[in-house]
Amino acid sequence: MEPTTVLVTGGTGYVASWLVKDLLGEGHDVRITVRDKDKKDKYQHLLDIEKQTPGTLTVYEADLLKEGSFDEAANGCDYVFHTASPFYISGIKDAENELVKPAKEGTRNVLSAVNKSDSVKRVVLTSSVVSIFGDNRDMAEKKEFTEADWNTTSSAEHQPYSFSKTVAEKEAWEIAQAQNRWDLVTINPGFILRHPSQSGQIQRVFQPSVPF
């Protein structure tokens, strides 16, 4: 594959970091968005990787809730990987503003930037299996699920993270289907596991106090 210009939103995340590493290794011009460029320690590991690869890395500051925030980063890109989305599994006080609104409006703002850039060919959205089904009521009568299935049981009050992923993916498909210049691919992993030392949240997942 010839080198291209690729944007990875939420570039300091776990999935995004591995994605950036592979893209740099293939020689692509990689752009990432972060919430605060001054916090260089959050993305220093990616700058270190850049030095060892044929690719180039450019860091942009962007806010999921700020309209136009991703325009500069997306302009001139061939591909966009949208991985940025809030992730909380406990301690949520205001699900609508902490999870749902940033997920949905962030997706809308990223894809708005894509629509303004006439060079983007494809957008890849990191979604989740929880946008396909929610609790046991969604799974009671089915053994197989397809892209036609949606989570119908989660809400901002019940399984708010699952709900945030569902509304974000629905927003993405609605925007994608309203145009015909770029195509959308969604990835819906069931679970992403990393080394426990990298995230105390993973350890909390397996504690009885956290509902599944």
CATH number for position 74: 3.40.50.720
pLDDT confidence of residue 146: 81
Owning domain of residue 151 = 5-205
Residue 165 among the catalytic residues? yes
pLDDT confidence of residue 208: 44
Q: Output the CA torsion sign for 181, 177, 185, 56.
A: positive
| Residue 57 falls inside a structural domain | yes
| Residue 63 falls inside a structural domain | yes
| Residue 125 falls inside a structural domain | yes
| Residue 183 falls inside a structural domain | yes
| Residue 212 falls inside a structural domain | no
Q: What is d(CA 20, CA 44) in angstroms, rounded to the nearest whole number?
A: 13
The catalytically annotated residue of 37, 143, 165, 170 is 165
pLDDT tens by residue, 162-175: 899 999 999 999 99
pLDDT confidence of residue 142: 67
| Residue 210 falls inside a structural domain | no
Q: What share of the chain is helix, strand, coil (3-state, %, to 5)?
A: 40, 15, 45
Q: How many helices (H) and strands (E) does the chain have?
A: 8, 6
| Residue 52 falls inside a structural domain | yes
| Residue 88 falls inside a structural domain | yes
Number of domains in the chain: 1
Cβ-proximal residues to 111 (8 Å cutoff; 6+ apart), any chain: 82, 123, 171, 172, 175, 176
**Res. 89 pLDDT band, cuts 50 70 90:** low
